[in-house]
Amino acid sequence: MTAHPVSLSLTLPLPPGVNNQYVTVGRRRVLSKAAQSFKRDVTKYLNTRRERGELVPAVERAFADSLIGVYLTFYFETPMRRDLDGGLKIALDALATGLGFDDRAVVDLHLVKQIDPLH
């Protein structure tokens, strides 16, 4: 039996840039408040989708048991505002945690920068 591809489209807030994701506390590097807030917001968003029945357990199981392709489009106010890849790691970590998959299962990754001051 052939497994059918599963897809999921989500609209998340723009994650903090890599330079704003960590702070030094004593001798340790820890997530900044902005990064912690982003991860919490993603968790809340996913929970809301679950409560509405828009994110079903079968889809989450499929992600947990599969190799994964991820397509991320980041919307920026201007083309030179930030590096395209600055929010990649935290966005992927938040999705992996929230959806219950191991980010090592991501085998195909696409990043796109869109310019949209109102998005």
pLDDT of residue 51: 97
* Average pLDDT for 92-116: 94
Domain boundaries of the chain, sorted by first residue: 20-115
pLDDT of residue 81: 79
pLDDT of residue 101: 94
**Whole-prediction pTM:** 0.86
pLDDT band, very low/low/confident/very high, at 2 (cuts 50, 70, 90): very low
Query: What architecture does CATH give domain 20-115?
Result: 2-Layer Sandwich (3.30)
Q: What is the DSSP string of 50-108?
A: HHTTSS-HHHHHHHHTS-EEEEEEEEESSTTSS-GGGGHHHHHHHHHHHHT--GGGEEE
Phi, psi of 118, deg, nearest 5: -100, -10
Instruction: Please indicate whether residue 117 or residue 88 has the higher confidence score (pLDDT).
Output: 88
Q: What is the pLDDT of residues 41-100, one digit of tens each?
A: 999 999 999 999 999 999 999 988 899 999 999 998 888 878 889 999 999 999 999 999
pLDDT of residue 1: 41
